[in-house]
Structures are given as C-alpha cells and as structure tokens.
Amino acid sequence: MEFINPGINIDFIGKRKIAFLFSGALIVVTVFLLILRGGPNLGVDFSGGVVIQVKLETSRTSAEIREALASLGLQDSIIQEFGEKGRLERLIRVRETDIELEGLSEKIEKALKSQLNEEVEIRRVDMVGAKVGRDLKDKALFAIFYSILFIAVYISGRFELKWLMSIVMALSLAIVVWITSALGASVVWLIVIALIVTVGLCWGLKLKYAMGAVIALIHDVTITVGAFALTDREISLAIIAAFLTIVGYSLNDTIVVFDRIRENLRHFRRRGLEEVINSSINETLSRTILTSTTTLIVVFALFILGGGVIHDFAFAMLVGIVVGTYSSIFVASPVLLAWKGTFTQKGKAKES
C-alpha cells in the first residue's frame, strides 16, 4: 500500500541542522525542568510511601482535603487529580513509609466523611517500603540502560558485521559499570557515565550505525521524560514499561531506514552519502507514516477511553511514538552523515 507518491523527494537531510537545534532545545528544556522540580516526579513504586485513591461526591480543593486529613497527621500529603475531569477522584500520596497500613483506609474514609460532610469511597490503598522503592528504581534504570546497550551490540553486528567490536564494547562497559559501582556512585550517575562511555566506544570503534541508534534512543527517552516533567505526571513501573516499549518502537523504525540506507549504498556507489540517505528516508516514508499513524490511532483511543489507570501509560506512548518517528528521520540518519564528515576531515588533515 502506497500512502505517499513513490517519487517524492523531500530534503530531510538539508534540514538536519534545524532538527538538531530543535532537539537540542527540547533536551535543554527537559534538563532545566528536572533541575527545577528536583528530579522526575517518582510514583510510590519508586519513592516509597502510601497511595490512597478516593472518589468524592463534590469537587473539593487540595487544601480542603489536606485540612480534613489533619486529624490523622496526614496534612502534608500530596493531593492529585486522577482520571478524567469531572470524575471527582483524587490520589492522596503519603511519603511516610513507617505509617500503619492496617485500618488506614477506614480512618481516612471516616475523617473525610466527617470533615467534608459527604460520602467518600476508598478505591484502593497501595504501600511500598522505602528499600523496595529504591530497589525497584535501580532495576528500572538498569532495564532501560541494558536494553539500549544490547541494542547497540545487535546493531553493530547486524549492520556492520563487527560482532567482535560489539563484544569488546559490551565487555568494556561491564568493566566501567563494575568500577563505577565499586566507587559507590549512585545508580543515576552510573547510568549517565555508562551511556557517555557507550557513545564514546561507538565513536572510537567506528560503529556508526550503533551510535546513530543509541543517540536516537537516548533522545527519545529524554524528551518523553521531559513531557512528564512538564505535565507533572508520575513515573511508575507502568511508565518504565512504556519507556521500554518506546525504545523498541523507535528502534524498529530506525532499523527500517538504516537497512534501506545500507542497501542503497551497495547499489549506488557513485552517489554521495547525503543523497543516498535522503533518498532512503523518502523511500521508507510511506511505511513510516502508515505505521506511526495506525499505532497513534490505537494509543489515542487508549488515552481517551482507557481510564485513569492506563492514562499516563498512553500519554507516554503518544509522546514516544511521535518523537521516535521524528528521531528516525532527523536524528539517527543524519548522525551517519555527521560521522562521515568528521572522519573525512580527519583523513584529509592527516594527508596534508
């Protein structure tokens, strides 16, 4: 099925500098938001504490609910809307992990009923200990990191037939992770250092396809985290699953474009790399738009009709699919061109 004219020739590569500036601006905004908010808004899965979901009869402000909970010593709780507007559901987050869970829902229900003078329904009560929360956070970060690492190894072997180099990269990273862990670095810094080393190794070992894919995946996850920081949404285990899904989706799109680039480089050896990359993106554009559009329709239906439980997951997928499609065209592929330009200039400098 052809959605776009096969002879289309949009100059995507010619707009790569604008795309790089745009992506750079989004990443800077993400970093600024995370610094401003003191990091991502971690859910109870990672931060530890208690989450109580309640349904009210009338609309109440967060201040009114906190005042009603003051008699239980929970006046410092974080109150958030849950689900679609008009459903009058709230999430009450208590960061204390030493609170007694037994009978807590009954106490909260009684306090809210007496103070607000209306019926209150307790929908759920979840509790995660501080240690369990930290362990889950560490495992979630490692899951994202190792997925990107194994993708870099696969891309190197699949597209460049450099399985030995990719194994060397994996072993080098394992050593870096071990040393960084032994020095007592936090998991966040460990992952940041490891990702920087991953990009450095791709550069040093001349694994250009792997480098393009890794940069695109880091770009996609970072901007999706920025969207969560901008909208002040919680990052929970379900959202980590969404991030991993985004990594897989974005990689699939990138591999299709890379495969066409590699194929065209074999068939059109006299063409310049910029022309080959641009024509390859145009040739796969119909497939890219069809796949992204059909996926977006399904995810948008989940976002609108899926209810509060899956709302944030669907939001992450919406952002990730859009950003992942964009990065396959404007980030991953132009990295190959930037790579060739850098090494060509180095080669000319050595000859002179």
Residues in the chain, total: 352
Identify the residue with better confidence: 23 or 56. 23
Is residue 347 very low, low, confident or very high in pLDDT (cuts 50, 70, 90)?
Answer: very low
Question: Are 13-42+132-159+211-345 and 49-128 in the same CATH fold?
Answer: no
| Burial bucket for residue 243 (CB in 10 Å: 0-12, 13-18, 19+) | buried
Q: Which residue(s) pair with 121 in the sheet?
A: 55
**C-alpha span between 308 and 85 (Å, rounded):** 10
With H, G, I as helix, E, B as strand and everything else as coil, classify residue 43.
Answer: coil
Reported as a single tens digit per residue, the pLDDT across 68-102 is: 777 777 766 777 777 666 667 877 777 665 566 66
What is the CATH code for 49-128? 3.30.70.3400
Helix, strand, coil shares of the chain as percentages rounded to 5? 70, 10, 20
Identity of residue 148: I
Report percent pLDDT > 90 for the chain: 12
**C-alpha span between 53 and 57 (Å, rounded):** 14
pTM: 0.77
**C-alpha span between 92 and 242 (Å, rounded):** 24
With H, G, I as helix, E, B as strand and everything else as coil, classify residue 162.
Answer: coil
Residue matched to tokens 């050595």 = 350
Indicate the DSSP class of residue 235.
B
Is residue 156 very low, low, confident or very high in pLDDT (cuts 50, 70, 90)?
Answer: confident
Please give the pLDDT value at position 344.
45
Reported as a single tens digit per residue, the pLDDT across 264-301 is: 888 887 778 888 888 888 888 888 888 889 999 999 99
The domain spans of the chain are: 13-42+132-159+211-345, 49-128
- Nearest Cα neighbor of 94 from 61, 55, 126, 136 is 126
Is residue 26 very low, low, confident or very high in pLDDT (cuts 50, 70, 90)?
Answer: very high
Mean pLDDT of the 145-171 span: 77
Reported as a single tens digit per residue, the pLDDT across 220-241 is: 989 999 999 898 888 888 888 8
Q: Mean pLDDT score of the chain, rounded to an integer?
A: 79
Please give the pLDDT value at position 211.
85
348: pLDDT strictly greater than 70 = no
Please give the pLDDT value at position 67.
79
Mean pLDDT of the 182-211 span: 76
With H, G, I as helix, E, B as strand and everything else as coil, classify residue 122.
Answer: strand
Q: Classify domain 13-42+132-159+211-345 at the CATH superfamily level.
A: Multidrug efflux transporter AcrB transmembrane domain (1.20.1640.10)
133: pLDDT strictly greater than 70 = no
